[in-house]
Amino acid sequence: MDVETSNVSKSLDSGELPLSLETLETALLALAQKRNTPGVEGTITQVTTMIANMKAMVKNQTTMAQQTANEAWADLLTCKGLYDPAGKIALQSVDSLAKDHATCRIVESGLKVDYELCKIAIAKVHAELERESAEFKAVNVFPRPGFCTHHADAFEYSSVRAYMLHFRNTYSGLLHQWEKTFNDTTGGSPEFTQEKLDCYGGDLRADGQGGKEGAYRVQNSECDAIQTKLEEAACYSGGHKESCEAFTACYQPKHEAYFGEGKIRQTAVAQFAQAKSEYHAIVRIACVLDSFTEEGEDAQLNDLIEGCRRNSRVDPGFLQFKPPEESQSIEDHTDCMVVKVEDLPGSAAFTMKMYETLITPGGETVWASVKDEVLACKGRCCQEVVETSV
């Protein structure tokens, strides 16, 4: 006999029984003195029928308590599908996207360095052409008046041949320089054209359509897209916020209704305890009734009744109550709206956590190349964050 059964199975007049049952037991004890008198047998039959009905009522009471608790718990479980703590917004996890993003930015950094170097080379060639252009402008003028005279620069040539040699030596060099400078500054030098072709592609223009610039721009666009997915996944907004709010609105009142003080679960447990107490009392009453049918002296009857007081012949399977939360649980995710700064895109903490491979020793060159792109936060919740420097 368990402790609870023992406590309930004390003397018939212990005061622990429901008043109606205690009165009934008192009446039965009085009947014990008259068991051989006319009419008692009929009374006992009526009471036996009453006891059977009372057992059925207690059984129904427990069944209803279990059903009420089950329905309330099932209602709480409907909140379970409203929020997926692992899904958030993106199909991929934040950590997975962070790795993809870091890998992409490393490639982008190399392409950007190549692009920057080609721009420097072009600028260098362009500066050289500017210098040559200035020189060309200096020689692209008519000789000063009188330069071609026989006594040019107050020098008197000894012969016509000497003058022609002087003319050839002077102007053949100038003509060669003039033609080279003209070709380089008007039609473009082969070196300059090749540098622009490598850097900008077939149109030779800085428009991001080809060459090293185009490769960098394409990679940059891909990395921006991954960063957007990453920061969207980390943002506590959009679908995540809506699902979080929906879960919280569903979970809190239903959880309070089930577990709260004086609520469904507590009431069901109390009803079961009351029903169990009544059941034990009914079993004791039934035991007394059974004693009336025994043959023997009154002293023997008294012993039988005393035995009913001490022992409760209950069926442990007659009344059962199992709290439904023991079968299927639900996690409390009402803290899903609590945002940590390291989870917010745009914050230095988030940047250090998500882009650590780009920032830490060994990655400084990469970070220097892509820092401006990365710090241009792309998630929908970035405007909530002020701290953006790293």
Render pLDDT for 141-176 as a digit per residue (tens, 0 to 9): 665 555 555 454 545 667 778 777 777 777 777 777
Domain identity same for 253 and 151: no
Given a cut of 80, whether residue 345 has pLDDT beyond it is: yes
Report if residue 299 sits inside a domain. yes
pLDDT of residue 190: 76
22-34 tens-digit pLDDT? 666 666 666 655 5
Domain identity same for 25 and 47: yes
Report if residue 369 sits inside a domain. no
306-337 tens-digit pLDDT? 777 666 677 878 888 899 998 889 988 887 76
Domain identity same for 9 and 78: yes
* Domain finish residue from 289, 317, 337: 337
Domain identity same for 312 and 250: yes
Report if residue 352 sits inside a domain. no
Q: How far apart are CA 132 and CA 130, in angstroms?
A: 5
CA distances 285 to 21, 56, 277, Å, are: 8, 15, 12
Q: DSSP readout, 299-339?
A: HHHHHHHHHHHH-----TTTS----GGGTS-----GGGG--
Report if residue 331 sits inside a domain. yes
* Domain finish residue from 179, 211, 234: 234
Residue 98 near residue 230 (C-beta atoms within 8 A): yes
**Dihedrals φ, ψ of 71, to 5°?**
-65, -40
* Domain finish residue from 302, 318, 337: 337
Domain identity same for 71 and 107: no
Report if residue 109 sits inside a domain. yes
Report if residue 43 sits inside a domain. yes
Domain identity same for 246 and 165: no
Residue 223 near residue 109 (C-beta atoms within 8 A): no
Q: Which amino acid is at 354?
A: M
Among residues 4, 54, 56, 58, the alpha carbon closest in space to that of 289 is found at 54
**Mean pLDDT across the stretch 82-104?**
74
Please give the mean pLDDT across all residues of the chain. Answer: 76
Domain identity same for 70 and 111: no
pLDDT of residue 90: 43
Q: How far apart are CA 12 and CA 332, in angstroms?
A: 47
Q: How many beta carbons lie within 10 A of that of residue 306, not counting itself? A: 13
Report if residue 251 sits inside a domain. yes
pLDDT of residue 11: 34
CA distances 372 to 367, 382, 388, 390, Å, are: 9, 15, 11, 11
Give the single-character DSSP code of 183.
Answer: I
Domain that holds residue 299: 3-87+241-337
Domain identity same for 230 and 302: no
- The number of distinct structural domains making up the chain is 2
